[in-house]
Chains A and B, each alone.
Chain A
Amino acid sequence: MLAAEAQLKALMLSALAGDAAAYRALLAALGELLRRYYARRLRDAASAEDLVQETLIAVHTRRATYDTALPFTPWLYAVARYKLLDHLRRGRVRATVALDDAVDLFAEDESEAALARRDLDRLLETLPAATREAIRQVKIEGLTTGEAAERSGRSEIAVRVGIHRGLKALGDKLREGRSREDR
């Protein structure tokens, strides 16, 4: 994701300066990202594609609101999430959001979560490397378990089980920490 972030941000900066070729490449890449984002959250493929287009238009008309001092992807996903929630609020479709996706559907702005992310990183450090990577890819970067399995060269089942165990271990650690604070 870091490579993608750097690449997308560089394209966005060129686009803001008026580089049409960079802008075209950026929009094409965003189209892919957004298609995956909405496909995972909406049952109806046609309205997912509508949202992709609507979000691309929003990216275009609101591009001045991107603060170049901040990372690009949180901005993009904040726009995407706004468009998704706006779409759901209009009530034209029923959402098909898996329970574990709902967590990031209603998550806080990513930039405000910087502190939380640091704590999360510290917690993740306590897990075995393979589990940590799997959780990072699936729960934080938003890859499917299939994609994560492909990247790590393990089976999808192994990735799923690893994530499940890892999350459980994190939960135990959190509870431990909290009861220590209560004392």
Chain B
Amino acid sequence: MKTDELIDRLAGELAPVSRVAVPRTLALGLGAGAAVSFVAMWLWLGIRPDLASAADTSAFWMKFFYTLTLGCFAFWAVERLARPGAGSRVQMTLLAIPVVVLLVLALVQIDGVSRTARMHLMMGASANVCPWRIAILSLPVFAGTFWALGKFGPTRLVVAGAMAGLLAGAFGAWIYAFHCDESAAPFVVIWYTLGIAAIGALGGLLGRALLRW
């Protein structure tokens, strides 16, 4: 086809585009995936029975906000990475903030306690299943974010894939926190972060294959 004909055809197909199309579609993919994950968590693991009283504890909100802030910063980074030529360094750097804050909190908690108590703070009762469950619950969100990102124009496919993975992992972990009854910061900073990072790594590995356009 001649380029002039192509231009005619493309101009004929023009429809107005919303300026918030990128964040809106991304939120749509994320929301749909998170809804599926939430139902999966409910049917498979169940919401913790003591949720009402747990909501009075700072441990519950620590997990809630740790995962949520990670998720929000990752969302912002993905929103930038979806656009050719847009910078994303600031957003990716912001991701370190919740991790560092929780790490400090964890170090304060294990400071000066006995070896057994320290082990308990780090391992809890579910360290062997926590990252796996987070990874599995992240998969629907992963599908949703990759679906959305695939409609846009990421130019750094590995980085964009990894960030979309972190985004999915963070919301998978956020949903898992409605089931999980662990309350120690050392546990969360190790095992939650591990589950989230695993999905981030998966996203990085699949970025080139899934996001090409």
> Which residues of A come within 8 Å of B, CB atoms?
15-18, 20, 23-24, 27-28, 31, 49, 52-53, 56-58, 60, 62-68, 70, 74-75, 77-79, 81-82, 86, 109-112, 114
Contact = CB atoms under 8 A, between A and B. Distances in A.
B10 interface: yes
B128 interface: no
A65 B1 contact: no
Given A24-B7, A64-B18, A82 B86 contact: no
The dominant DSSP class at the A interface is helix
Contacts, number: 89
A82 B3 contact: no
Given A56-B6, A109-B87, A18 B16 contact: yes
A27 B11 contact: yes
Given A20-B14, A27-B11, A74 B3 contact: no
A80 to B, nearest CB: 9
Contact of B153 (A56, A68, A82): A82
Nearest to A16: B17
Interface stretch (B35-43, B48-56, B77-85): B77-85
Contacts of A70: 85-86
B112 interface: no
B22 interface: yes
